[in-house]
Chain A
Amino acid sequence: MDTLMQYAWLIPLFPLLAFIVIVSFGRQLKEGAAAVGILLTAVSFGLAALTFWQRFQEGASDYAFSLDWLQVGDIVITMGFEVNQLNAMMLVIVTLVSLLVQIYSKGYMHGDERFPVFYQYLALFTFSMLGLVISPNLLQVYIFWELVGVCSFLLVGYYYFKPEAKAAAKKAFIVTRIGDLGLFIGICLLFWWTGSFEFAQIFDSIALGKLEPWMITLAAILIFVGAVGKSGQFPLHTWLPDAMEGPTPVSALIHAATMVAAGVYLVAVTYPLFVASDIALNVVAYVGGFTAIFAASIGLTQRDIKRVLAYSTVSQLGYMMLALGVAGAAGYVAGTFHLMTHAFFKALLFLAAGSVIHAVHTQDVFEMGGLWKKMPVTALTFLIGCLAIAGIFPFAGFWSKEAILSAVYEAHRFDLLWLAIIAAFFTAFYMFRLFFLTFAGEPRGRHDGHESPGVMTGPLLILAVLAIGAGFVNTPYAPYLTEWLLSGETGEVITAAFGEGTGHAAAWLQVVALLVSLLGIVLAYLMYGKRYIPADAIPETMPWLYQLSYRKYFIDELYHHVIVRPLNWLGLLLDLFDRYVVDGLVALTASITRGIGSLHARAQNGQVQSYGAVVLFGLLLLVVAISLTAQGGGFFGQ
């Protein structure tokens, strides 16, 4: 029954084919490029779904395939792919969301001049992300990791004529680069210590105890730094909100569902490494937990609809890291479960927001309002997304968030539990603030809203269904996902280390979570829906608190002054050094040579007598030399 998994390597190739076709024929195709992209991604999705279904059959072992690629001395580096539980799930998620976004973009990007270019980049991105998830070794992961970063850069800077978009693209690339550096060093260290890039071999080395504890911790933390960059955790979170300069479908695909999830995926796929180091797990958990509440607190005050969603993404990713970090089989499952549900409802939220933006031509929520009647489908799906993310029963988010809280509780991390619950409250609050400001009340905007075309609402509806139903794969009463995820080889390592978590221990925790979220919704309703409590209450009484949140805790300014400006000065200094010292030396050498040349040229003065004098001198030298060296002492001898 392995037959279908053998062809898993084809899954990334269809989007690559789409990329090549669109690059070659984009100009002729124009909006037909969408059809190419959609079709080939659909084929990929079909194949991914079949592979996933195959993995469901019990007894299917992890499938791995590799080719020798490079030989350096004794070491052989291979390229290949593997299919295991985590992979298969990611393949389905990525292809499905990519497919839906591409369908949506046909409507959203309609009329854009560079329409084929957009689909090109989307196809390239899909290829890279799919390649990343089926990689069996760290080197391949790194290659696709960088490719994904490049695609993000291209897509964020899609509107390259806007200076903010250019700056945002650069920022995204550079900030993630910092994370990538950590990842790269981690990979190099692991290669140095274990002699291989392959996951299987690295995990074996750890299991056999070949690595010292400090080595494992260091490598794990460095790999986590890479994840921090890509997933926008504190302190490398600053690029994600700015990346909203890209078109909304891009935000939905990359910065909500897939690329930012790559960080979480990385931690999950190298989980045996983290399992072996408590310190690394703590780092993951605390960074994740802090980020969750930090980003949520910023999202409370933002005006731009996409930025609120961006901070929400950062916050939810923090949740996933928190879950992975508190250890335990429960944490691993909860983190990956939330990854899946988040992909669906966040993509839904972004696409719905895009639909709104497309209609009213503004992104400022204070200029929207009263769109419920004018855009019913969008409004309904957005509401479903908000309910899902706020964790209301029985939507998907409820089950996954509750799984995380349970895992944290089981691990007895009460400090983190408090952080998580407060962050949940904030999440519910700001999401519904967004909802009420956008859809309820009187229209404040200048443009009349109208419903978006079917090609855009279709994906919204599909994602809404998933946002409702995806949670049921892992309820406490029927933990299908848990059993399935932990049945693979990685799962065995985890359960061996931590034992099988009972998964969802306390029923009271479910109730508490639900209540907290409902509280947030009610507060938002009172402040923004019915306006019983004035929205300006806090900004007026505690302006500094409001400013802290609105200005994102001034972190961007801090980075600019502490890091960017000194680096610019350093660059200037080095440029001057290069120009005057290095170039100066070269020019000096050249001028010295030229000087010597012109000096000697003066000897050619055209006068025969000078030449004669020189000849005489030469003759003298010759005679002296011969007389000194001739046989028998020569001239001056004896």
Chain B
Amino acid sequence: MTGEFLAFFILSLLTIGGAVFMISFTRVVHMVISLGITFISIAGLFILLDAEFIGVAQVLVYSGAISILMLFGIMLTKHDASDEGTGRSWKNIFSLVFVAGLFGLMFWGIQKTTWTAPPEGAAQAVSVKQLGVEIFTKYVIPFELASVLLLVALVGAIIMAKKEGDSE
């Protein structure tokens, strides 16, 4: 029982618990909160995986920005929407079945595959410096494109959310 294992166990429990609670809560705000917990736990998992930068980015982007954005969305739409149940309709049952099927399939696939251990000496802790070097040398074009994408998304979102009829 290593510490690593314990940490993993707790974090994954929080993650999955948060996700399941998210699904089963009825009030939307509660859902957002449990999702936030999930995000933070995932950040913990990242750190466990020696991806500190990603973990911090996760906290910043997801649990910081995106959760708040969702709250804003709830606020601007029906902010008192509390009844959010799923009915027992055919579509939902089918979806459950299919999702369960997908789960079963992938589970079996994961179990069946023989995962060879990585060759010795190849695993090194990845540092932020290494990350930076890779981004700005090998992946600089996708990086630039991502910034353009963000700009486009920004402009698009503003236009979409603007009230109609404003001509100034």
A–B in direct contact per CB < 8 Å: yes
B98–A617 contact, CB under 8 A? yes
Which residues in B have their C-beta under 8 angstroms from that of A617? 94, 98
Asked if A616 lies at the interface with its beta carbon under 8 angstroms from chain B, I say yes
Which residues in B have their C-beta under 8 angstroms from that of A607? 91
In the complex, which residue of chain A has the Cβ closest to the Cβ of B105? A623
Asked if B112 lies at the interface with its beta carbon under 8 angstroms from chain A, I say yes
A609–B91 contact, CB under 8 A? yes
A613–B105 contact, CB under 8 A? no
| Distance of A607 from chain B, by nearest CB (Å) | 8
Query: Which single member of B91, B108, B109 contacts A610 (CB below 8 Å)?
Result: B91
| Distance of B111 from chain A, by nearest CB (Å) | 11
Which residues in A have their C-beta under 8 angstroms from that of B98? 613, 616-617, 620
B112–A635 contact, CB under 8 A? yes
A620–B101 contact, CB under 8 A? yes
A624–B105 contact, CB under 8 A? yes
In the complex, which residue of chain A has the Cβ closest to the Cβ of B96? A613
Asked if B102 lies at the interface with its beta carbon under 8 angstroms from chain A, I say yes
A613–B101 contact, CB under 8 A? no
Give residues of chain B (86-112) contacting chain A, Cβ–Cβ below 8 Å.
91, 94-95, 98-99, 101-102, 105, 108-109, 112
Which residues in B have their C-beta under 8 angstroms from that of A620? 98, 101-102, 105
Which residues in A have their C-beta under 8 angstroms from that of B91? 607, 609-610, 613
> Given A620-B101, A620-B105, A623-B105, is A613 in contact with B94 using a C-beta cutoff of 8 Å?
yes
| Distance of B71 from chain A, by nearest CB (Å) | 23
User: What CA separation (Å) do A336 and B122 show in the bound complex?
Assistant: 124
In the complex, which residue of chain B has the Cβ closest to the Cβ of A620? B101
Chain B: residues with Cβ within 8 Å of the partner, total of 11
In the complex, which residue of chain A has the Cβ closest to the Cβ of B91? A610
Question: Counting chain A CB atoms within 10 Å of each CB, which of B99, B101, B108 scores highest?
Answer: B101
Which residues in B have their C-beta under 8 angstroms from that of A610? 91
Asked if A192 lies at the interface with its beta carbon under 8 angstroms from chain B, I say no
Asked if A214 lies at the interface with its beta carbon under 8 angstroms from chain B, I say no
Which residues in A have their C-beta under 8 angstroms from that of B109? 627, 635
| Distance of B127 from chain A, by nearest CB (Å) | 37
Which residues in A have their C-beta under 8 angstroms from that of B112? 635-636
Which residues in B have their C-beta under 8 angstroms from that of A609? 91, 95
In the complex, which residue of chain A has the Cβ closest to the Cβ of B109? A635
Give residues of chain A (583-638) contacting chain B, Cβ–Cβ below 8 Å.
607, 609-610, 613, 616-617, 619-620, 623-624, 627, 635-636
User: What CA separation (Å) do A627 and B112 show in the bound complex?
Assistant: 12
Give residues of chain B (108-138) contacting chain A, Cβ–Cβ below 8 Å.
108-109, 112
| Distance of A160 from chain B, by nearest CB (Å) | 69
Which residues in B have their C-beta under 8 angstroms from that of A624? 105
| Distance of A131 from chain B, by nearest CB (Å) | 78
Give residues of chain B (5-26) contacting chain A, Cβ–Cβ below 8 Å.
none
User: What CA separation (Å) do A616 and B102 show in the bound complex?
Assistant: 8
In the complex, which residue of chain B has the Cβ closest to the Cβ of A623? B105
Which residues in B have their C-beta under 8 angstroms from that of A613? 91, 94-95, 98
User: What CA separation (Å) do A617 and B91 show in the bound complex?
Assistant: 12
Question: Counting chain B CB atoms within 10 Å of each CB, which of A613, A616, A617 scores highest?
Answer: A613
Which residues in B have their C-beta under 8 angstroms from that of A636? 108, 112
User: What CA separation (Å) do A617 and B99 show in the bound complex?
Assistant: 9
| Distance of B40 from chain A, by nearest CB (Å) | 28
Give residues of chain A (402-423) contacting chain B, Cβ–Cβ below 8 Å.
none
| Distance of A568 from chain B, by nearest CB (Å) | 57
Which residues in B have their C-beta under 8 angstroms from that of A616? 95, 98-99, 102
Which residues in B have their C-beta under 8 angstroms from that of A619? 102
| Distance of B93 from chain A, by nearest CB (Å) | 10
| Distance of A237 from chain B, by nearest CB (Å) | 78
User: What CA separation (Å) do A609 and B91 show in the bound complex?
Assistant: 8
| Distance of A625 from chain B, by nearest CB (Å) | 12
Which residues in A have their C-beta under 8 angstroms from that of B99? 616
Which residues in B have their C-beta under 8 angstroms from that of A627? 109
In the complex, which residue of chain A has the Cβ closest to the Cβ of B94? A613
Chain B 58-91, CB-CB to A under 8 Å as 1, else 0, gives 0000000000000000000000000000000001
User: What CA separation (Å) do A624 and B106 show in the bound complex?
Assistant: 10
| Distance of A628 from chain B, by nearest CB (Å) | 11
User: What CA separation (Å) do A585 and B151 show in the bound complex?
Assistant: 64
User: What CA separation (Å) do A409 and B60 show in the bound complex?
Assistant: 135
User: What CA separation (Å) do A613 and B97 show in the bound complex?
Assistant: 10
| Distance of B102 from chain A, by nearest CB (Å) | 6
| Distance of B101 from chain A, by nearest CB (Å) | 5
In the complex, which residue of chain B has the Cβ closest to the Cβ of A617? B98
Which residues in A have their C-beta under 8 angstroms from that of B102? 616, 619-620
User: What CA separation (Å) do A627 and B101 show in the bound complex?
Assistant: 14
Give residues of chain A (12-27) contacting chain B, Cβ–Cβ below 8 Å.
none
In the complex, which residue of chain A has the Cβ closest to the Cβ of B104? A620
User: What CA separation (Å) do A612 and B91 show in the bound complex?
Assistant: 10
In the complex, which residue of chain A has the Cβ closest to the Cβ of B95? A613
The 4 closest A-B pairs by CB, nearest first: A616-B98, A613-B95, A617-B98, A620-B101
Apart from A617-B94, A617-B98, what are 4 other A-B pairs with CB-CB below 8 Å? A613-B98, A616-B99, A619-B102, A620-B105
What are 25 A-to-B residue pairs whose CB atoms are below 8 Å?
A607-B91, A609-B91, A609-B95, A610-B91, A613-B91, A613-B94, A613-B98, A616-B95, A616-B98, A616-B99, A616-B102, A617-B94, A617-B98, A619-B102, A620-B101, A620-B102, A620-B105, A623-B105, A624-B105, A627-B109, A635-B108, A635-B109, A635-B112, A636-B108, A636-B112
